[in-house]
Structure 1
Amino acid sequence: MTVSTSEFPRGSAQGTAPVPLSILDLAAVGEGTTAREALLASQRLARLAESRGLLRYWVAEHHSMPGISSSSPAVILAHLAAHTSTLRLGSGGVMLPNHAPLVVAEQFGTLEALAPGRIDLGLGRAPGTDGATAAALRRTDGVGADDFPGEVAELIRFLRDDFPDHHPYRRIHAVPGPVQGVVGQPQVWLLGSSGFSARLAGQLGLPFAFAHHFSAQNTLPALELYRGAFQPSGLLAEPYVVIGVFAFAGEDAREARRQALTGALATVRLRSGRPGLIPTPEEAEAHLFTAQERAALGTWLENALYGTADEVTAELDALQKRTGADELMLAMNSHSPDFRVRSYELIADAYNMPVGGAATG
């Protein structure tokens, strides 16, 4: 069930980073800002990632959330592909229960045709939204998280164009794709925050990305499941793990905490059924979290890394050592687009990552 027999694209750590670094983008929209500003910041951030030697730039799919403008990853990735030349681009992830596998294969086959050898297709089994919105997205009954393994298998078949004879989809082709002579296919990943996708990724011999940033208590058990279940495939000879983590680096520790609090308050409101724009640092800092809100927040703020760049990178190093991650993927749900760009600059500087590179456009 692998997509390609080519060597898995691995990066090498740049500067003093222990492993390659990547970015997971939510294209957050803060109070007083617009979706356009958020998306233009994503363009700036992708170019920065490429010029500083980061490995990947992934976009997360969420729906009906005013503070997140990444509802259409494939559209954003097509735009970013036009403004970069070497950076790997992908979904972190496409929430497969929301989509017909053929549609996803067509979208990411198109991206692969536009940016050959640079496209990752990360797949998740959660809807990335509430139940009513999920129903509106798919408009079909009976397809949910439990159908995920079969949906993944079907999607991979479409990407490879290799349904067996007599299969009802044998004469259906995902275009662009192999039927047109497209040589490569997107690199398929599984995403997860529990053991289900971890075990499935291992059984399929696929790389695995774990959402440590909102399920830190499950990180080590899930990685143990993944590594224990791993079966070498034509794509991947040994397990490959990416850890997603919130990281906020400021010019000083106070500003980093202020920006982290904006994401924390936005999360509290989302989990209590009141999604909205990301609040300002002033509003977040003045907010008195009730005991109920702290319970809703869970361990979000405890597991977010925030402080000066040196403090954040020290914690990233410790996380990598503790988990044995092959790659760290940094995420940031904060009010200010300028802060997000500057934060990643500071982290790259702290790791002595190269300045300048292949960014275009």
Structure 2
Amino acid sequence: MRGAVHGTAPVVLSVLDLATVGAGYTAADALRTSVELARIAETRGYHRMWVAEHHSMPGVASSSPAVILAHLAAHTRRLRLGSGGVMLPNHAPLVIAEQFGTLEALAPGRIDLGLGRAPGTDGATAAALRRTEGLHEGADDFPQQLAELTRFLDDDFPPGHRFARIHAVPGPVQGSAAGGVQSPDRPSIWLLGSSGFSAQLAGALGLPFSFAHHFSGRNTVPALALYRESFRPSEVLDRPYASIGVSALAAEDPEEARRQVKAVALGMLRLRTGRPGLTPSPEEAAAYSFSPMEEEFVGSWTNDVIHGDPQTVRAGLDELAARTGVDEMVITASAHTPAVRLRSYELVADAYGLPKDAGVEGIPQEGAAAR
């Protein structure tokens, strides 16, 4: 619920982790950093931590969100964990229901299932994931896939349906036929997007919605407006609940923040031009000779990242929260150096007066029936 947060943050603060792999580091280093980040998020009072599905990107180690989330669940006690998101067209709905039903059994009441309709990769990789030629059908079939996934999670296919005898286990059906106790929880479903399609669908279904402001900032306000206009109360929510992904990096030395952001921008430039690789070091970025067109890209990308000293970052986050009216900001701190990423979340927490060791009491809730 808005305002129900630690410290003086105007909205709920959460974490989006991309498991970034910097030059000179390994995927194992990145995933160890993810565990440390989860511990920081939990002790400092961040509400949730999400990991995102990416494929065939050497600089991003989060190709298997469910596997990473199981590991993070084993290293935390109360932090909400989830996908931000799973790209549903890449997977059979039953597989996702089983994966996230398992996560819910491992960490009851703590799991979010954030779903996107994009492939999260290039067409060739998507074909390798799906083993089908009809790649264009994935996004178009998203509402149907979502409905099927929801029925698997709730175990409520109608009699006569071709899947009525199939059960996603672990799930609510387990043990019921044998007189066991049904699970009271299932993962909390979110829709994620960078355009109006998922915003409108989330509103129509009464689901929470998260917009990818960190890479589609120009569409943020229109998409959020469409979500709110389309919203219909449901068993999940009685009013809209919106979050945005925000790229923000804080450092004691503003110059260090600028150096790290420029390095990530160079990595993004290479990705966008078909040359994906590890995130370059600040030294490599400083020595790189940018063409005028590349300079324009880097400048535009950097402008969308809130960065600087902690108070500058807080001011930028506050302005964005006021401008968008969101309930929650999911912060991704992209940097080449793991220690810089981790320190950024500590500094943002300090800037907002979040606790040094958050207890169970006071963990913010979205309100209504959403978790």
TM-score (norm 2): 0.92
CA distance in 2, matches of 1:313, 1:295: 26
CA distance in 2, matches of 1:357, 1:125: 35
- Which residues of structure 2 form unaligned runs of 5+? 175-181, 361-371
Q: 1:13 to 1:288 in 2, by over 3 A?
A: farther
Aligned to 2:76: 84
Work out whether 1:134 is the aligned partner of 2:126. yes
Equivalent of 1:153 in 135, 147, 151: 147
Aligned to 1:198: 199
Aligned to 1:105: 97
Q: 1:261 to 1:249 in 2, by over 3 A?
A: same
Equivalent of 2:27 in 14, 20, 35: 35
Return the offset for 1:222.
Answer: 0.3
Work out whether 1:59 is the aligned partner of 2:60. no
Secondary structure of the 2:30 match is: helix
Aligned to 2:312: 311
Checking the alignment, whether the CA contact within 8 Å between 2:3 and 2:10 is kept in structure 1 is no
CA distance in 2, matches of 1:295, 1:99: 37
Secondary structure of the 2:103 match is: helix
Secondary structure of the 2:25 match is: coil
Return the offset for 1:261.
Answer: 1.1
Counterpart code for 2:147: A
- 1:112-191 matched pairs, under 5 angstroms: 112-142=104-134, 143-180=137-174, 181-191=182-192
- 1:215-230 matched pairs, under 5 angstroms: 215-230=216-231
Aligned to 1:20: 12
Counterpart code for 2:133: D
Deviations along 1:276-329, whole A, 9 cap, x unmatched? Answer: 000001111232332332465583211110100100001000000000010011
Aligned to 2:348: 347
Q: 1:79 to 1:10 in 2, by over 3 A?
A: farther
Checking the alignment, whether the CA contact within 8 Å between 2:88 and 2:142 is kept in structure 1 is yes
Return the offset for 1:12.
Answer: 2.4
CA distance in 2, matches of 1:355, 1:151: 42
Aligned to 2:67: 75
CA distance in 1, matches of 2:328, 2:93: 28
Aligned to 2:243: 242
Counterpart code for 1:17: A
Aligned to 2:254: 253
CA distance in 1, matches of 2:308, 2:248: 9
Secondary structure of the 1:354 match is: coil
Checking the alignment, whether the CA contact within 8 Å between 1:28 and 1:69 is kept in structure 2 is yes
- Over the aligned positions, Cα root-mean-square deviation in angstroms equals 1.5
Return the offset for 1:251.
Answer: 1.2
Counterpart code for 1:304: V
CA distance in 1, matches of 2:34, 2:68: 9
Secondary structure of the 2:222 match is: helix
Return the offset for 1:252.
Answer: 1.1
Aligned to 2:367: none
Q: 1:168 to 1:11 in 2, by over 3 A?
A: farther
Checking the alignment, whether the CA contact within 8 Å between 1:210 and 1:219 is kept in structure 2 is yes
Counterpart code for 1:202: G
Secondary structure of the 2:248 match is: strand
Checking the alignment, whether the CA contact within 8 Å between 2:2 and 2:327 is kept in structure 1 is no
- 1:260-299 matched pairs, under 5 angstroms: 260-294=261-295, 299=300
Secondary structure of the 2:326 match is: coil
Secondary structure of the 1:45 match is: helix
Count residues in correspondence: 351
Q: 1:298 to 1:146 in 2, by over 3 A?
A: farther
CA distance in 2, matches of 1:297, 1:63: 23
Return the offset for 1:157.
Answer: 0.7
Aligned to 1:333: 334
CA distance in 1, matches of 2:246, 2:289: 25
Return the offset for 1:154.
Answer: 0.7
Secondary structure of the 1:16 match is: coil
Q: 1:309 to 1:62 in 2, by over 3 A?
A: same
Counterpart code for 2:195: S
Counterpart code for 1:155: L
CA distance in 2, matches of 1:161, 1:136: 30
Return the offset for 1:172.
Answer: 0.6
CA distance in 2, matches of 1:101, 1:318: 38
Secondary structure of the 2:144 match is: helix
Deviations along 1:144-194, whole A, 9 cap, x unmatched? Answer: 111111111110111000111111111111010011122210000000011
- Which residues of structure 1 form unaligned runs of 5+? 1-8
CA distance in 2, matches of 1:101, 1:297: 38
Aligned to 1:5: none
Counterpart code for 2:75: H
CA distance in 1, matches of 2:80, 2:126: 29
Checking the alignment, whether the CA contact within 8 Å between 1:11 and 1:55 is kept in structure 2 is no
CA distance in 1, matches of 2:200, 2:297: 28
Counterpart code for 1:160: D
